[in-house]
Amino acid sequence: MELMMRCRYLIAFLAAVSPSVIALAAGDGSGAVEVFRRTCLAQGSSFDAIASAAAAKGWKPLPGGDFERLAPLEDVDFSSGWMATDRALPEPVVIGVTKARRDGRPVETCTVAFTKVPIEPFLKAFSDSTDAEKLSEESEGTWTSRLYMLVAGDRKQFVKLKYARSPDGNGPMAASSIAER
């Protein structure tokens, strides 16, 4: 139930902070994967690196605490989120980072959230461009959550993909990396 509520909040929140639909060209999941890879995987979920990039690029900060509801883990110590827009992004996206705990160990997370992305092409592009090993998949209603493990940015990372398909094959997605601090 908690996952469903967090995902519903994701849709409402993203729609509220961006009046234009955050979408990539139909059928192009590789652009969204590239945004996620550049932002989160290449940085190794570095809270400080993402926060510095946000300041340097002038991303608009989200109101305090709002990003925690989109975070991939529930035990969050600190979070920051931004509405990211720059020439390197195809459309505005929500980007956020947390310092959190996973199984009692300190971790950093990085999330890129889209309100509308082509789900199957994204999953295929993610699979084709990484050596990620799928660890689990859970469904609750129309929402699916997948957990992967991979090595990127010279660190072992977990990747959590949360998404919901609409009848046209597109839907909201939050792609998150989780790495030990």
Nearest to 68 by CA among 6, 149, 152: 6
Length of the chain, in residues = 181
The Cα–Cα gap between 29 and 119 comes to 7
Q: What average pLDDT does the chain have?
A: 81
Q: Is 102 exposed, middle or buried (0-12, 13-18, 19+ CB in 10 A)?
A: middle
Tokens of 93: 């996206």
Token look-up 């990003």 returns 67
Report pLDDT digits (tens) over 57-116.
Answer: 899 999 877 888 788 998 899 999 999 987 767 677 999 999 998 888 999 999 999 988
The Cα–Cα gap between 67 and 81 comes to 5
Report pLDDT digits (tens) over 124-177.
Answer: 999 999 989 999 999 998 899 999 999 876 778 999 999 998 888 899 999 999
CB 181 within 8 A of CB 164: no
Residues 111-139 as b/e (b if ≥16 CB within 10 A, e otherwise) read bbbbbbbbbebbbebbeeebebeeeeeee
CA dihedral 6, 140, 24, 93 (to 10 degrees): 10
pLDDT of residue 43: 62
Q: Which residue has the higher pLDDT, 13 or 46?
A: 46
pLDDT of residue 75: 82
For residue 73, the tally of other CB atoms under 10 A from its CB is 18
Residue 1: band (very low, low, confident or very high) from pLDDT cuts 50, 70, 90 = very low
